[in-house]
Structure 1
Amino acid sequence: MEEDVPPSHSTRRLLLEWDTFELHDQLLRALHHQSFTKPTPIQLKALPPALQGRDVVGVAETGSGKTLAYGLPILHKLLSRRKHPASKTRRPVRALILAPTRELALQISSHLNACLDDAHAPKERVTSNDSRIPKPPPVSVAAVVGGMSLHKQKRILSRGVDVLVATPGRLWDIIQEEVELANDIKSLDFLVLDEADRMTETGHFAELDDILRLTLRWYREESVLEDKLAADAAKNTLQTFVFSATLSKDLQRNLKKRVKPRKNGKNPKPPTTLEDLLERLDFRDSEPEVIDLSPEGGVVSSLKESQIECLSADKDTYLYYFLLRYPGRSLVFLSSIDGIRRLVPLLELLELKVYPLHSQLEQKQRLKNLERFKSTPKSVLLATDIAARGLDILSVDHVIHYQIPRSADTYVHRNGRTARAMRQGFSLIMCTPDERQVLRALLTSLGRGEGEIPQMNVELYMLDKLKPRVQLARHIDVAQHKFNKEMHEKNWFKETADAMEIELDSDFANSDSEAKPSGPTKRRQKAASTKIKDQKLRLKQLLTQPLLAQGISKRYITSGSNPIVHELLAGTSHETMIGVKKTSAGSDLLRKRVKRSSKRGYEEWSGFGSTS
């Protein structure tokens, strides 16, 4: 058996801050290859107790490195424990990592596999007959999620994996059919709940509860004392990790002291679903290590927040304005799938690169849209809250709350898609009058006031120039949808009539599917199609017209009340809004100045930072 190649002296010198943990050489090489030169704060706090075998409950801001905080100790122990196993031997599952969404589970699997990707390790071994046989990896990681081939996932599990990353629903479906997998989970060495609070929501908790029951310590009544002690010793090896970006202080205190909420009293406070879940976990530590690095008010220091007050009818125009004014990688959150389906064609007509992400898309399409968004610097991802948890998308510049979330946890996790790993980020709340009460309740639950989130500075004259574009695009979308619906219904009638051998009237007389309709139907369809084409041409003309700031001459850039030749030469002028300075969203905020009469019901804000 060939030995692992230790990291070079220069590699160890670059990873001095990791040396205190005495991690496996292969992990150190992987950390160096991925340029992780020093641990993050949550890793610094979590690794020592985790490597000692303690149970750990970690609370830290999103993008802080929680995956490696539990992943490195698990991989270190598995790598230190075994060498390359025989290729025909089934591996029992030693570590189970549960995640609430498919995308997060696949991301965790990818991160852990990157830590095991050792370019220096030998990939083949030579047998006595000189045939080349692929060497199985010392530790294998696989993901089991819904929306992908169940047969393929069962085949992978039949060979066995060391670390299994899964969503509760798909895992429970397989467990019910695979006895070996159920037995593996009964004797796990490591159990991880990532984004635990999300998994307690509707649709996750039932399967999660069934899975967790398999990890509990149990004894058969007929067992003798020695058998009980042996079983207890075996089951005591389970190490549990619970990680999230949000966890209440009361719940942390209960966990640390292992105190159950009091049930007596006049009006006992019922336990939350998360409290109920953590009580069901069979922590082997009497006092799990609780690490809380969550920022005050749920906001990281590198995140700037803002809000826009607008009418419901103007929300699309304000969104379009923001996406044009501050180009970049923007993640727009909506609460409903219908809202995404309405906005996608509208923004596409306005020639923006936009990708949808929601639960009713096929898994392949969801992953494809995510990859497109990651690889396109100036793009928009319209997503429901399935994208709010754990997804590590490099350089998300803006998070936009098109629809305000109902819970503080969701707001914190949405914001966590930007300002990750100490990068700068920006969050915008779009608030209509009927959402004001929702926003107030949201901020109250975060221990904050409305005045703490400044208003966004908006060039209203530029907004007026964009309204005709949005309105025309909306008309085109409605007309196009109506036209396509009529065509779909007509084709359905024809196919159904053919199947039932029924003769339709003259409007549907053409049995040839390629023949064009005749008579009134043909004229109506042609008129509708021509109207849509004309509207698209008008929209294209509007989109090609330059957006000029106030005081800019259409003919001469050196004249007018606001000459911009110097800005153009210096590259500080906006790309599409001529005469507007190129700025970041975080620099165009307003600060509160004075409070107006309570009869008016709002406050006055004055500008600071860079404005045009």
Structure 2
Amino acid sequence: MGGDDGILELEEVEGVEVVYEMTDAGRVAKFRVSEETPSTREVDEDNDRDHTAENEGETPEDPIIVEEIPAFDSENLLPAWHKIPLHPKIMMALHEKSFHEPTPIQAASLPFALVDRDVVGVAQTGSGKTLAYGLPILHHLLSKPHPSFSRKRSLRALILAPTRELALQVSSHLNELLTTMEFSKKSPETETSGSSKPATKLPPHVSVAAIVGGMSAQKQRRVLDRGVDVLVATPGRLWDIIQDDDELARGVKNLRFLVLDEADRMIEAGHFAELENILRLTQRESKEDMISNDIEGRAGEDDDDEEETWAEIKDGLQTFVFSATLSKDLQQNFKKKRRFKVSKKHYERDEKPASTLDDLLLRLDFRDPNPEIIDLSPKGGVVSTLQEGKIECLSGDKDVYLYYFLLRHPGKSLVFLSSIDGIRRLMPLVELLNINAYPLHSQLEQRQRLKNLDRFRNTPNSVLLATDIAARGLDIPAVDHVIHFQIPRTADTYIHRNGRTARAMRKGFSMLMVAPDERRVVRALLSSVGRDEGEISEMGIELSMLDKLKERVQLARKIENAQHKVKKTNHDRNWMRETAEVLGVELDSDFVSDSDDESKVSTQKRKAKDRKMAALKAELKHLLSQPLIARGISAKYITSGSRPIVDDLISGEFNEAMLGLKKMEAGSELVSAKKKKKAKPITSVKKEEMEEEWAGITA
């Protein structure tokens, strides 16, 4: 114990001294505030010095780390980027990643972003919007002195994204760019005033982290406790952490950069209520609020200092807003029947409904009085490298047409459905048909969602069955086809779905599967983007192949329905028993006896069902093993038949799943609406042939 009897682990507190007094109970330690306690003004001045040092990336006690930046000849190696004054390390990384020239949105936005202007950018999907706002942030941070290990990083940039996958993707892209930068292998010696220290390993110049739901919140809090420069987050998880972390709240309040990616989705009515709370933290305080919050510590300062402080408060925030669509008209739900009433006053004033951009200007506190608005969205919402087609069929036949398309045009296909139930119904069906398919929807665990995305990326001929959580922002390399198995409800969702293919000037194909009751919705979707239904051509279908595939699909449905009934019965019974055990309730004797009787009787039935199921699976396996041969192809001799396939076999241009059909891109079989109108009905063609034949006979 030493001299301080009964006291363990005293902590020295500045301005507080320990005083011992003798009492009847013995010597007692009491604490007294010293008269030499620093004034509130001195404390504030120390805080200001620390805050300034924090902004500069160093502390008053930390040594200044001087890092030698190697020269980079951007004028010769990257002439297209040379006019944009980016940090040399960024230029090196762009050259290493083979980004030889900026995309249109990057070329248009970077000159404004690098001179501290607020930017609102609208550009097609896959146009490089991530680097359009990411490069200015990295340029600013790399231009600051190198941070040290002893000082916690302060949050400088916040990037908000609507989905977990998009947030993780943005974080991954920025980190890939940082790791590509050529850091010096030998750490430079640190220099201090009056002393020199040996070379030490440098920490990363810029730290980027992602905070999303569905993953361990404790791990994410530990990452934040270590300190990050750039935080990519979804609003829900970020607000959950902010509520318990005052330091993070202060970091958001003093941001240098604020980014809203896919902004139109973020501000939809009823979505992301947490976003409103986060945006309030970034808003400027009024002069009255600033004075009321800070007047106690600055009571002795004169008016000039007060005005100077007001001018500096939070004026450095730079805001970037990017999306592929910023129009309220595109967000209208066309599947709901709406009646629009237009008043005479509204008609006379010719008032237009508020746009998404107007909402942004109201909700975001832009420091720039006139944010630079850059709109490079393509006409009709379709990029030039995207081909579109459609298949008109009954709702019950969509499974067969989808199966036909996947066999006829192999590759990476992203199939969009509007509901999770649709994915759960379709998933076992395509698995029974030996198709590599992976689900992606909101009810999967985050780990499983990422795993399925990774599998889809790395499997050449595969299918991703997804809801609209995969429609925005995801950059999946080389997606060949986007299939709208169920028609989207809004036009902006349709545009974003199509944006998963034909990215970065690559070719892509989008196909609509339209049932008779969906034609009205398709017509409304296209008209909202200024297009006509006739602009989308129909796909040519080999009907002989389709008939053969129907038998397979119908058999797979029987197997899936039988399996589903067994699973549902077992699930309901097990759920009843587990619930009764949890509640401590005894099940009714009738239920128990019925289940016991059923278990006795069902043993024989189960065996009979298993035999039937095995027979169905064997039949389906036999069908799948049979080759699909097109009409006119000889099954015995490749040189005979009305459609010889020798040349295709030799050249390798044959479809492996459908013998007799050539390898063709999906867009090469489109039948335009004009040709379809000119084509004569089958009955009239047969009639003309019969008349010609009869004329020849009589002649």
Work out the CA distance in 1 between the residues paired with 2:436 and 2:142. Answer: 44
2:484 aligned with 1:404, yes or no?
no
Secondary structure, counterpart of 1:241 in structure 2: strand
Q: Indicate whether 1:183 and 2:262 are aligned.
A: no
Give deviations 1:203-256, integer Å, cap 9, x for gaps: 5341111111111111352727543542332311111111011124999xxxxx
Q: Which moved more, 1:360-369 or 1:283-292?
A: 283-292
- What amino acid is the match of 1:528? K
2:611 aligns to what? 530
Deviation at 1:4, TM superposition (A): 4.1
Tell me by how many angstroms 1:289 deviates.
Answer: 1.1
Q: CA deviation at 1:26?
A: 1.6
CA contact (8 A) 2:114 2:136 kept: yes
Residue 110 of structure 2 is matched in structure 1 by 47
Distance of aligned partners of 1:323 and 1:307 in 2 relative to their CA distance in 1, 3 Å threshold: same
Following superposition, the deviation at residue 275 of structure 1 comes to 2.8
Q: Percent identity?
A: 62
1:137 is matched with which residue?
Answer: 204
**Partners in 1 of 2:516 and 2:100 — Cα distance?**
48
Superimposed CA distance per residue, residues 304-342 of structure 1 (whole angstroms, 9 cap, x where no aligned partner): 011110001101101111011000000011110100111
1:75 to 138, 152, 162: 138
After TM superposition, the structure 1 = structure 2 runs for residues 387-426 of structure 1, keeping only pairs within 5 Å, are 387-426=470-509
Instruction: Kindly indicate whether residue 304 of structure 2 is the aligned counterpart of residue 230 of structure 1.
Output: no
**Aligned with residue 239 of structure 1, among 301, 312, 318:** 318
In structure 2, how many angstroms separate the alpha carbons of the residues matched to 1:562 and 1:595?
Answer: 24
The answer (yes or no) to whether the contact 1:219–1:228 under 8 Å persists in 2 is no
Whether the aligned pair in 2 keeps the contact of 1:7 and 1:29 (CA below 8 Å) is: no
- Helix, strand or coil at the partner of 2:673: strand
Deviation at 1:138, TM superposition (A): 1.2
1:610 aligned residue: none
Other structure's SS at 2:538 match: coil
Which residue of 647, 659, 665 maps to 1:578? 659
With over 3 angstroms needed to count, the CA separation of the structure-2 counterparts of 1:52 and 1:125, relative to structure 1, is: closer
- Please list the CA deviations of residues 420-453 of structure 1 after superposition, one character each: whole Å capped at 9, or x if unmatched: 0000000001100000110010011000111111
Aligned-pair CA distance for 1:108: 0.5
CA drift at 1:391: 0.5
Indicate how the Cα distance of structure 1 residues 17 and 593 shifts in structure 2: closer, same or farther if over 3 A, else same. Answer: closer
8 Å contact from structure 1 (residues 190, 238) kept in 2: yes
Amino acid at match of 1:429: L
Structure-2 residue corresponding to 1:564:
645
Answering whether residue 654 of structure 2 is matched by residue 587 of structure 1, we say no
SS in 2 for 1:240: strand
- Alpha-carbon distance, 1:131 to partner: 11
CA–CA separation in structure 1 for the residues paired with 2:123 and 2:579: 58
Measure the CA separation in 2 of the matches of 1:50 and 1:188: 16
Name the residue aligned to 2:458: 375
CA distance 1:419–1:596, change in 2 (3 Å): closer
Residue 95 of structure 2 aligns with which residue?
32
Q: How far off is 1:2 after superposition?
A: 5.5
Contact 1:7/1:28 (8 A) holds in 2? no
Match of residue 485 from structure 1: 568
Residue of structure 2 aligned with 1:294, choices 377, 383, 392? 377
TM-score (norm. length: structure 1): 0.89
Is 2:615 the counterpart of 1:552? no
Q: Is the counterpart of residue 211 in structure 1 residue 278 in structure 2? A: yes
Superposed CA offset, 1:16-65 (max 9, x none)? 22222121122122112211111111111111111111111111111111
Q: 1:106 aligned to 2:168?
A: yes
Task: Tell me which of 250, 266, 274 is aligned to 1:199.
Answer: 266
1:339-354 equivalent positions in 2, closer than 5 A: 339-354=422-437
Instruction: Give the letter aligned to residue 159 of structure 2.
Output: I
* Distance in 1 separating the partners of 2:269 and 2:619: 47
> 1-side partners of 2:676 and 2:507: how far apart?
31
Matched with 1:59 is 122
Matched letter for residue 472 of structure 2:
R
What's the offset of the Cα at 1:195?
A: 0.5
- Tell me the amino acid that sits aligned with residue 31 of structure 1: L
2: distance between equivalents of 1:493 and 1:206? Answer: 37
Q: Tell me, yes or no, if the aligned pair for 1:200 and 1:274 is still in contact at 8 Å.
A: no
Q: 2: distance between equivalents of 1:109 and 1:424?
A: 26
C-alpha separation in 1, matches of 2:121 and 2:629: 51
User: Structure 2 CA distance, aligned partners of 1:78 and 1:215?
Assistant: 20
Task: Give CA-to-partner distance per residue, 1:147-192, whole Å, 9 cap, x none.
Answer: 1111111111112211111111111111111111111111111111
1:280 aligned partner, one-letter code: R
CA distance in 1, matches of 2:234, 2:357: 17
How far off its partner does 1:114 sit? Answer: 1.4
Which of the numbers 426, 430, 435 marks the counterpart of 2:518?
A: 435
Query: Aligned pair in 2 of structure 1 residues 278, 533: CA closer, same or farther (>3 Å)?
Result: farther
Which residue, out of 508, 515, 539, partners 1:456? 539
> Match for 1:90 among 145, 149, 152?
152
Q: Is the 8 A contact 1:353 1:380 kept in 2?
A: yes
Q: What's the offset of the Cα at 1:596?
A: 6.1
Contact map agreement 1:47 1:73 (CA 8 A) in 2: yes
The 1:485–1:186 alpha-carbon spacing in structure 2 relative to 1, beyond 3 Å, is: same
Separation in structure 1 between the aligned mates of residue 544 and residue 253 of structure 2, nearest angstrom: 65
Equivalent in the alignment of 1:466: 549
Which residue type is aligned with residue 236 of structure 1? Answer: D
Moved more, 175-184 or 265-274: 265-274
Structure 1 residues 118-197: aligned runs within 5 Å: 118-122=181-185, 135-197=202-264
Structure-2 change in CA distance of 1:123 and 1:169 (3 Å): farther
Write the letter of the residue equivalent to 1:240.
T
| Among candidates 43, 46, 67, match of residue 3 of structure 1 | 67
| Partner amino acid, structure 2, of 1:306 | G
Contact 1:98 1:167 in 2 (8 A): yes
Distance 2:322 2:645 in 1: 52
Q: Secondary structure at the match of 1:455?
A: strand
Give the C-alpha shift of residue 461 in structure 1: 1.5
* Greater Cα shift, 359-368 or 287-296: 287-296
- Whole-Å Cα distance in 2 between the matches of residues 170 and 164 of structure 1? 12
Q: Which moved more, 1:136-145 or 1:277-286?
A: 277-286
Q: Distance in 2 between matches of 1:442 and 1:424?
A: 23
Shift of 1:496: 6.6
Please tell me whether the aligned partners of residues 210 and 233 of structure 2 are also in contact (alpha carbons under 8 angstroms): yes
Provide the secondary structure at the position in 2 that maps to 1:211. helix
Which TM-score applies when normalising by structure 2?
0.78
Paired residue type of 1:569? I
**Contiguous gaps of at least 5 residues in structure 1:** 252-261, 511-516, 601-612
Please tell me the residue identity of whatever aligns with 2:156. R
> Which letter does structure 2 place at the counterpart of 1:69?
A
**Greater displacement, 194-203 / 52-61:** 194-203
**Greater Cα shift, 403-412 or 419-428:** 403-412
Deviation at 1:293, TM superposition (A): 1.1
**Secondary structure, in 3 states, of the residue corresponding to 1:152?**
helix
- Name which of structure 1's ranges 390-399 and 231-240 shifts more when overlaid on structure 2: 231-240
Q: SS of 1:422's equivalent? A: coil
Instruction: Give the match for residue 49 of structure 2.
Output: none
Count of residue pairs brought into register by the alignment: 580
SS at match of 2:322: strand
8 Å contact 1:238–1:284 — kept in the other structure? yes
Q: How many Å separate the matches in 2 of 1:411 and 1:538?
A: 39
Q: Is the 8 A contact 2:258 2:318 kept in 1?
A: yes
Query: For 1:421, what is the secondary structure of its paired residue?
Result: coil
Deviates more, 1:558-567 or 1:58-67: 558-567
2:447 aligned to 348, 361, 364, which one?
364
Contact 2:165 2:474 in 1 (8 A): yes
Q: Deviations over 1:369-398 (max 9, x none)?
A: 000000111000011111111100000000
| Matched residue SS, 1:278 | helix
Deviates more, 1:240-249 or 1:378-387: 240-249
Partner SS for 1:389: coil
Give the alignment partner of residue 399 of structure 2, picking from 292, 313, 316. 316
